[in-house]
Amino acid sequence: MAALAPIVLQFSKYQGLGNDFLMLDGRGASSTDASYGLTPERIQRLCDRRFGVGADGVILALPPRQGGELRMRIFNADGTEPEMCGNGMRCLARFLADSDGDLPGRQWQIETLAGRIVPELLQDGSIRVDMGAPFLDPESIPTTLACGENGLAQGNLEVAGSSFAVGAAGMGNPHVVIPVDDVEAVDLERYGAAFEVHPAFPARTNVHFVQVISPTHLVMRVWERGAGPTLACGTGACATLVVAHLLGLAERCARLDLPGGPLEIDWDQASGHVFMAGPAVAVFDGVVTPELWGDEPFELEAPAPVQKQPDASPAVDCASVCTNGCIRPEACPSAEARARVDALLNGSSLDDLVALATNSLESRIRSRFDRDTSQGS
């Protein structure tokens, strides 16, 4: 039977242009569907900026399913699971590089609900991501907007008492882009919330208002599906460039200024893929306290059985056959390992367990600092 204990969950917080995420490293998990007990309610508590850690979302790095190096699951601050997130992908790549000591030029094959994404660590420490080709077919976005002669799903929508000319594109998740004369004059709370749930977008949508400064310089504001106003959205910046180019407002390569800072977006004509380049920065490492996690205990994985002698009883898979209690309490093959776990838990205070996690975090931070120092010299 698995041991139960209050959870001491390690995390690292990263931000990309102010779009911030809590990173959980589950690459060693036994299941590609591991969720570490995360529920929508727990995610909401973790992401709460007054009563929790504070973040726009939570990202899990998990074992791969389909031949990639790892699998990414991302959860919005409201607990919903989107297909992908460009800023989150950059943060994940930076987190992997920091955790593993990777050098510039390193690429990762990362599985997402939107397909396989390939980020790359650049020499200056920023991350460039091959976001793949945009989805332009209305059914793939999805949207009920009709496709125009330029191959773009577009039309006029009535939202909150006003009419807007819009275009839509998908980057594994849906986006609506609204060109305006002045993004700062837009009532984002009013129109962003209304666009997100407009019937033209059956899966809801991310919302972006864009102002054209020049064909190679755009300014945008973001309303993210499931998160509301955020300082940046990587997939949104990609979709915005695609829509603006098809509308004749922008070149295929441009700088997009978001509230959190600029991204360089390039819609490569040869491959049809969209490339995004921008920063991702470590903020801090920490542990989640049992008080924040909630009353329900966290179930640890069953310890591995001890090695048998030749004359021992037949092997027992404790994790599968002892779910309702040990079937051989007089000769449990996991007794020794369980005793060690029990001794650790019973003989350690919460402060001791937090100290163990802190030592691990300090080691990671020191390694990151040493790497950055050596690169800067």
At 79, list the tokens.
Answer: 């607990």
Considering only CA atoms, which of 222, 224, 212, 221 is closest in space to residue 254?
Answer: 212
Please say whether the beta carbons of 371 and 31 come within 8 A: no
CA distances from 353 to 194, 343, 358 (A): 46, 12, 9
Q: At what angle do helices 86-100 and 234-246 cross, to 10 degrees?
A: 140
Give every CB contact of residue 223 below 8 A, 6+ residues apart in sequence.
188, 191, 192, 193, 195, 196, 206, 207, 208, 229, 230
> DSSP code of 107?
B
Distance CA 36, CA 318 (A): 20
For residue 233, indicate whether it is catalytic: yes
User: Among 47, 91, 233, 238, which one carries the catalytic annotation?
Assistant: 233
User: Among 85, 91, 318, 322, which one carries the catalytic annotation?
Assistant: 85
- Containing 33, the helix (H) or strand (E) segment is none
Distance CA 121, CA 89 (A): 12
Distance CA 127, CA 88 (A): 11
Please name the residue ranges forming H helices in the chain: 40-47, 86-100, 188-196, 234-246, 290-293, 318-321, 335-346, 350-376
For residue 85, indicate whether it is catalytic: yes
CA distances from 82 to 65, 172, 206, 295, 345 (A): 18, 9, 11, 27, 36
Please name the residue ranges forming H helices in 185-321: 188-196, 234-246, 290-293, 318-321
Distance CA 184, CA 186 (A): 6
The pair phi, psi for residue 218, each rounded to 5°, is -120, 150
Which active-site residues does the annotation give? 85, 233
